């Protein structure tokens, strides 16, 4: 089994533990959506698409496991490190890149390393394009505009 598939299998089994079916679908929709957006951005930017996809799959797991978004990015980076070391799918360098991206993913105004920025942008793509009838959050507008410019999308 490929390592992305193996990670997804693990994440599916964790999401299945959530009590509410709507929450499971919503969480899966977001994680898989961000993972795909991260893959597309990695292909565009010359970064590793598999690592980008794995970061997308893991990025909000702490929030889904605990039901709280309180400091979920920083705590989520620690959780991702635990999961990745348990599954033994990534090198130390790859684990660091994934965990750094998750650690920074809620800092939407700051500019961080390329893979960190990629995960923030993938998160914003899913927040904004999953349902275009919803208003774009103020903290995501500038980043959304930059992504549209980069990808040649009409905003």
Please report, as ranges, the residues that interact with Fe ion according to CB under 5 A: 60, 123
Distance in Å, CB of 35 to Fe ion, minimum: 11
Angle of helix 49-58 versus helix 21-45 axis, rounded to 10: 160
Q: How far is the CB of 118 from Fe ion (least distance, A)?
A: 13
By beta-carbon proximity to Fe ion, the closer residue of 117 and 123 is: 123
| 24 neighbors 16 (Cβ within 8 angstroms) | yes
Closest distance of CB 62 from Fe ion, Å: 9
Contact (Cβ atoms closer than 8 angstroms) between residue 27 and residue 21 = no
- Per the listing, tokens 């009838």 go with 133
CB of 88 to Fe ion, least distance (A): 25
Q: Pick the closer one to Fe ion by CB: 27 or 97.
A: 27
Q: Which is nearer to Fe ion, 60 or 94 (CB)?
A: 60
89/96 Cα distance (integer angstroms):
13
| Burial profile 69-89: b = 16 or more Cβ within 10 angstroms, e = fewer | eeebbebbbebbbebbeeeeb
For the bound state, the minimum distance from the C-beta of residue 73 to Fe ion, rounded and expressed in Å, comes to 6
> Which of 60, 116 has the CB closer to Fe ion?
60
Question: Considering beta carbons, is residue 123 or 140 the nearer one to Fe ion?
Answer: 123
Cβ atoms of 51 and 147 closer than 8 Å: no
């Amino acid at each position: 089994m490929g390592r992305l598939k193996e990670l997804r299998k693990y994440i599916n089994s964790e999401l299945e533990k959530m009590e509410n079916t709507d929450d499971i679908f919503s969480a899966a929709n977001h994680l898989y959506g961000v993972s795909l957006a991260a893959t597309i951005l990695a292909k565009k930017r010359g970064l590793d698409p598999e690592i980008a996809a794995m970061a997308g799959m893991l990025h909000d797991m702490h929030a889904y496991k605990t039901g709280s978004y309180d400091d979920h990015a920083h705590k989520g980076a620690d959780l991702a490190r635990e999961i990745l070391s348990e599954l033994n799918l990534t090198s130390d360098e790859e684990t660091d890149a994934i965990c750094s991206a998750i650690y920074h993913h809620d800092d939407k105004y700051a500019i961080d390393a390329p893979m960190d920025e990629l995960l923030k942008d993938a998160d914003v793509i899913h927040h904004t394009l999953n349902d275009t009838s919803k208003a774009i959050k103020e903290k995501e507008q500038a980043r959304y505009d930059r992504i549209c410019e980069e990808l040649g999308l009409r905003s």
